[in-house]
Structure 1
Amino acid sequence: MTGRSTAVLPVFDAEATAALLPAAPLVDAVADAMRARRAGRLAAPERGVLPLPEGGRYLVMPAADEHLALTKSLTVHPGRAAHGLPTIQGQVLVADARDGRPLMLLDAPTLTARRTAAVTALGLRVLSTAPVRSVALLGTGAQALAHARVLAELGEVRALHVVGRTTAQADAFAERLAAELGSVELTAHGHLADALRTAQAVVTLTTSLRPVLPDQQPAGLLVVGVGAFTPQMAELPPALLRARRVVVDALDGARHEAGDLIQAAVVWSGVTELVDHLDARPEGGAAPVFKTVGHAAWDLAAAHVAQRMLTTS
């Protein structure tokens, strides 16, 4: 005879998942996860990847600490974007690590986008010698939307400069978010040079196969590369990477996935992780390049924020 549980697993769609992941605690949780990962207090093995039809991929990313365990599963079908359909779909199943009890099912694309933006925000805060008030976003997709929303919500950035493939794309992006972002000044640009004129940092959020930034950048400009996530992609020019200090969110993942760094043949012994800089004063000289590839540990950080939001509401 088989018993049946009567408990209903809470399922949160994209909007509800976003509401469970407020920006400020999410940034703090990511920093805590970086320290915990360095100290060996959480486990997050390399993600599993299976090929799917039409160039798709099925990704599985587990992570656990003494409190929570999760599995994020995602399907990625790049060809769907041409038909106006979502490229990424998936869920994050969160369980109690102590007894295995399922706790919630979160929307994976939303969680991924917001924790990725939180990693960027943490990098801006930690790696810059002065508060970053003006940021250029290169891209108008889902990650750009998440970055604009998270940076605006934190209240540290006062001006966002958006660059799209076309002026029309940048204008549509700015129009979509103008009312939502409130006090943040949002400006659309048709040319990158215009966006960088007053920006203290630039965040690249494309899936380009070739560099989208010029080789030379002002020494004080902090460069954050987010969009390139395979060895074949490269948003950042090799000359820039060779001229600057390079910081990554997760070194093991960057070695295999950061096409920018792989194609530039960076000297990995000189690459540091963001966790190395969390409790240190920013170094002088030219601003570094911060490259992120993501990690299941950052998903676990987001799950902790969502769990706390649920238990305190």
Structure 2
Amino acid sequence: MTPLLTPQQTADALPYPELAAAIEALLRDTSVVVPARTVQPLAGGGSLFVMPACDARLAITKLITFIPDNASRNRPAIQGDIVVFDAVSGQRTAILDGPTVTARRTAAVSLLAARLLAPRTDGPLLIVGAGVQGRAHLEAFHAGLGVQEVWVASRSPASADALVLHAHRLGMRARRVADADAALAKCPLVVSCTPAQAVALHAQPRADAFVAAVGAFTPRMVEWAPEVCRWLAVQGRLVVDTRDADHEAGDLLQAGINVHALATLADVVRDATTHRRHGPVFFKSCGWAGWDLAAARLALQR
């Protein structure tokens, strides 16, 4: 019988600090192959994502749907699974919960980027968007950076209050803020993980800020005002998760920025010293099946 991990079992197999380390190890592994993902538009306005990846030992396929307005149906926006195979025998070895892996590996990628690039990591942390990714990033930055204070901004006060309560249960100091733009001046760590259907942030981050921009992962999606992105390109440092961002990083593409010229997280992992500069850091995360492969590798080890 192929192990079918529940959401909780999947989460237990993927602690954030260990997952960030697994992602860094994957970026150093020359056997990793990640083809371009297939994105199939669906009749209801959502998308079906088919994302394969392999290394010398494992092969995976991530098969998930993304339905932006599923909150109105009381359903998660992301649903699906990650199927893991032995790359030599072809045997199916595990099935991981897709939404859980997506949340945790995305947050772990941001954690790794912050470890390598953030001018300072003591917080407070501002989270804009209090959904699944907001919760995952709160947990990841608390577990992996030791962040003790978080500010939460959301269009839904109830969602923000729920995330604040979760932070309190983790022993953190936390509060809801009504104005995300104003909060940027007080927070050196920022995570934007909104639905990215419209600009949510119009102000400039601090000079010592690290921003993980997570919500926009298609050319049409956007969280940050174009003028802010252009200011960051001049005053700070822009880094993307992979070269797939060249055609997916909505925030940067809509700002007219040449994304292809930007460093990737793999470039930073290989030589972090050349990528540390003065000024704010804007890390654009779009997603990649390699992150799911790293999660599968860690889950099978554990």
TM-score range, shorter chain: over 0.9
- Which residue of structure 2 lines up, in the alignment, with residue 62 of structure 1? 52
SS at match of 1:290: strand
- Which residue of structure 2 lines up, in the alignment, with residue 257 of structure 1? 248
- Residue 275 (1) aligns with residue 263 (2): no
CA distances 1:98-124 after superposition (whole Å, capped 9, x unpaired): 211111100001001100000111111
SS at match of 1:293: coil
Q: Distance in 2 between matches of 1:53 and 1:131?
A: 43
Residues 196 and 223 in structure 2, CA contact (< 8 A), matched pair in contact too: yes
Q: Distance in 2 between matches of 1:120 and 1:49?
A: 23
Specify every segment of 5 or more residues in structure 2 that has no aligned partner in the other structure, as ranges. Answer: none
- Which residue of structure 2 lines up, in the alignment, with residue 12 of structure 1? 5
1:137 to 124, 127, 133: 127
Q: Distance in 2 between matches of 1:280 and 1:87?
A: 34
- Which residue of structure 2 lines up, in the alignment, with residue 241 of structure 1? 229
1:291 to 281, 284, 291: 284
The amino acid that maps onto 1:293 is C
Shifted more, 142-151 versus 279-288: the winner is: 279-288
Map residues 101-112 of structure 1 onto 2, 5 A cutoff: 101-112=91-102
Q: Distance in 1 between matches of 2:206 and 2:279?
A: 8
Shifted more, 217-226 versus 64-73: the winner is: 217-226
The amino acid that maps onto 2:28 is R
The amino acid that maps onto 1:220 is D
1:158 Cα deviation from its structure 2 partner: 1.8
- Which residue of structure 1 lines up, in the alignment, with residue 86 of structure 2? 96
The amino acid that maps onto 1:114 is R
Q: Distance in 2 between matches of 1:107 and 1:215?
A: 37
Q: Distance in 2 between matches of 1:167 and 1:86?
A: 19
Q: CA RMSD in A?
A: 1.7
- Which residue of structure 1 lines up, in the alignment, with residue 197 of structure 2? 209
SS at match of 2:94: strand
Map residues 169-188 of structure 1 onto 2, 5 A cutoff: 169-179=159-169, 181-182=170-171, 184-188=172-176
Q: Distance in 1 between matches of 2:112 and 2:282?
A: 14
Question: Relative to structure 1, is the Cα distance of residues 213 and 79 closer, same or farther in structure 2, using a 3 angstrom cutoff?
Answer: closer
Question: Relative to structure 1, is the Cα distance of residues 283 and 153 closer, same or farther in structure 2, using a 3 angstrom cutoff?
Answer: closer
1:153 Cα deviation from its structure 2 partner: 2.3
The amino acid that maps onto 2:272 is A
Q: TM-score, normalised by structure 1?
A: 0.89
- Residue 46 (1) aligns with residue 36 (2): yes
Which structure: larger Rg? 1
Equivalenced residue count is 296
- Which residue of structure 2 lines up, in the alignment, with residue 31 of structure 1? 24
SS at match of 1:207: coil
Q: Distance in 2 between matches of 1:174 and 1:216?
A: 24
Residues 93 and 104 in structure 1, CA contact (< 8 A), matched pair in contact too: yes
SS at match of 1:53: coil
